[in-house]
Structure 1
Amino acid sequence: MPVTAPPLDGGPVPGGGVVFPDHAVSHDHPVAHDHAAVPPAPLEHPALEHLDLEHLALEHPALEHPNTALIRDGYSAFGKGDMETIRSMLHERVVHRVPGRGPLCGEYRTPEEVLGFYVRVFELSGGTYRSEPYAVMAGDDHGVALVHTYAERSGRVLSGRAVDVFRIEDGRITEIRTLAEDQYADDAFWS
């Protein structure tokens, strides 16, 4: 079957979707080394002219994937110490993998072990541990949360970022992988 290149002037792509012409993307902005946000190019295309995007945004707020809501609800329950809600979100075959060399690192392989791990984190931090997502995305089988973590312990402070990767099956979490931005700092804090 021959492969057809998408049209360069914008328009429908064979098999669905739309390709936006190169002029719709701004190439005028130099790379920002201070990570300043570059404003997105305007969304201009003849196929979108008939849409009242402002009306659509007000009348039909974006629907997030149910697994995104599941992950957000999990963080909310975690923040409240609501272990019953968290337990209901965990699959019987759940495993939470925490890499590193610290005393909390390892694999927690049942809902009870996972909840025990969370209780231990709260105990060791005197209840100061927080894991606050600043971005959550999910699809049918997987989800990812970018989180800011914070805790105090023995006069020390842990403040960093991490990524939690989720595998989800039948609306329940089957796997969590926690990947700290600075694993050495995490290991030292919990040791």
Structure 2
Amino acid sequence: MRFPTSAEHPNVALLRDGFAAFDKGDMDLIRELLADGVVHRVQGRGPLSGSYRTPEEILGFYVRLFELSGGTFRAEPYSLTADDAHGVALVHTYAERPPDRVLAGRAVHVFRFADGRITEIRSLAEDQYADDEFWS
């Protein structure tokens, strides 16, 4: 029996490009991937939790992650899936904060798309309590 092969959905490539841009600090490319009315919802009760409602607010949030972690924050996807409207990224997260705090865990990012751009991101940490404590 042969199973049909399928090409990668364009929104999977969009997510892959976005994570690669994030890893390199390429905020210009990330900005291109975000729709004007985008919202990024970060779950939890820590100081970085909340809703970021414009591309500029979202980019500022990403810069803050790097600032608070001394440039050590990483979000490395190990599984990406997407269709025309939705996508999911399973990621390993890692960051350090002086003097000896380390965040090493997993998270899920759920995306919505329209017209080839990201319109919504929801970020959920595997251990929300640890995540909140780390960033506090």
Report the Cα offset of residue 110 of structure 1.
0.2
**Within 5 A, what are the aligned runs for 1:2-81?**
48=1, 62-81=6-25
Corresponding position of 1:184: 129
Residue in structure 1 matching 2:60, options 116, 120, 123: 116
Report the Cα offset of residue 153 of structure 1.
0.5
Residue in structure 2 matching 1:161, options 106, 117, 120: 106
CA distance in 2, matches of 1:120, 1:184: 19
> Quick check: which one's strand share is greater?
2
Report the Cα offset of residue 125 of structure 1.
0.2
Q: TM-score, normalised by structure 1?
A: 0.69
Structure of greater relative contact order (alpha carbons < 8 Å, 6+ residues apart): 2
CA distance in 2, matches of 1:96, 1:166: 9
CA distance in 2, matches of 1:140, 1:99: 25
Q: How many residues align?
A: 135
Corresponding position of 1:127: 71
Which runs of 5 or more residues in structure 1 are unaligned? Answer: 1-47
Report the Cα offset of residue 62 of structure 1.
4.5
Please say if 1:94 is aligned against 2:41. no
Please tell me whether Structure 1 or Structure 2 has the larger radius of gyration of its CA atoms.
1
Runs of 4 or more above 4 Å deviation: none
Percent sequence identity is: 71
Report the secondary structure of 1:100's partner residue: coil
Q: Deviations over 1:110-149 (max 9, x none)?
A: 0000000000000000000000000000001000000000
Which runs of 5 or more residues in structure 2 are unaligned? Answer: none
